[in-house]
Structure 1
Amino acid sequence: MAITNEADIIQLVRKDSWMMDLLQTAQSLQLPDWWICAGFVRSKLWDVIHGYNERTPLPDIDLIYFDPTLIDEAVEKELENRLKLTHPHIPWSIKNEARMHSVNNLPPYISSVDAISKFPETATTLGLKLDEHNQIILAAPCGIYDVIHLELKPTAFFSATSERMAIYEKRLISKNWQAKWPLIR
């Protein structure tokens, strides 16, 4: 299937029972401003574009939310433990973006999508969630062009300083995505 727009991405996810199950599981937590993001979305797209029949294993499933009223990291760990009861083989990584700016030594984020926009690569700035009618919502604050054209570029946030660009470049080396998806540029 060719992926040319956001509707194509939503259709791919809707047809993927594993992804839909994880989205419904995340939705069941009723977290404010929640999204499953980053590799969960990007890897699916790159697998499809590469014609892979098997899902590329993910090191984790990033579930983020934004709750400035309760920023204790212990809450995130308790949420991860709750999800591990229903999906013990899923490597959940839950983060409250209302506190992550302090971990990353950055100005406060204003929402989860604001935090997503500040991820290192444009191809990773993607999030999915379900609305109250179980319709899929896609957040793509840097657009989808780079991810569907297999282009790795730093976000504007990361290209703004040499320190962040160094982090971006180290990340490209450590992730070694071209070994899994050789068509990436």
Structure 2
Amino acid sequence: MSLHERFALDILANRHNREILARWERLALPDGWLVAGCLFQTVWNLQAGRPPESDIKDYDLFYFDASDLSASAEERVQAHVEEVLGDLGVEVEATNQARVHLWYEEHFGRPYERPLRSSREGIERFLVPATCVGVRPGDLYAPYGLELLYDGILAMNPLVPHRELFDRKAASYRARWPALRIAGGD
């Protein structure tokens, strides 16, 4: 079994991931992807012998719509997402990657390099390359591969070289999954 096949099976062990993907067409998100924590945390939970959904705070959806960069447009998409997925009983957040550059600095205290051109570019810019994953029915995007994820290696993403943000994120991950290792560290 390839790592891609294993990943597909692992993320579907999480019933919420499975249900979100089953309702994908109803979401109708332009350039839409299910991304990040709900995927890599499911894998790490399984590796640690924990239930697949354990301690997953939210389920993130990326989409890309440059036709309306307003917060109100993103709120309308969020309302639609809640209408489609609200019965799951988990928090699902939809983020328009076309407008990240408008709020990133205020939220994270660091300037954003430039506006993104796709949801894939947003996936490429998570702080930790092992966590840069996105899926949608029939498609996987893992720009740095899946080896770091499965090996539990936390490294800083050169596209987002924010050491203090990385250190906080890595410490948070290691508190929940102690087997994870910092690249070049312990």
TM-score normalised by structure 1 residue count: 0.83
Structure 1: how far apart are the matches of 2:164 and 2:175? 21
In structure 2, do the counterparts of structure 1 residues 56 and 4 end up closer, same or farther at CA, with 3 Å as the change threshold?
A: farther
Shift of residue 181, structure 1, vs aligned partner: 1.1
Stretch moving more, 14-23 or 112-121:
14-23
Unaligned runs of 5+ in 1: none
Residue 77 of structure 2: aligned partner = 79
Structure 2: how far apart are the matches of 1:92 and 1:154? 26
Structure 2: how far apart are the matches of 1:102 and 1:166? 22
How many residues were matched structurally? 172
In structure 2, do the counterparts of structure 1 residues 138 and 54 end up closer, same or farther at CA, with 3 Å as the change threshold?
A: closer
Percent identity reads 22
Residue 136 of structure 2: aligned partner = 129
Structure 1: how far apart are the matches of 2:52 and 2:29? 31
Residue 100 of structure 2: aligned partner = 100
Structure 2: how far apart are the matches of 1:110 and 1:54? 32
For the aligned residue pairs, the C-alpha RMSD in angstroms reads: 2.0
Unaligned runs of 5+ in 2: 105-111, 182-186
Equivalent residue letter for 1:68: A
Structure 2: how far apart are the matches of 1:100 and 1:118? 11
Describe how 1:1-185 pairs up with structure 2 within 5 A: 5-14=3-12, 16-53=14-51, 55-85=53-83, 86-88=85-87, 89-104=89-104, 105-130=112-137, 135=138, 137-159=139-161, 164-173=162-171, 176-185=172-181
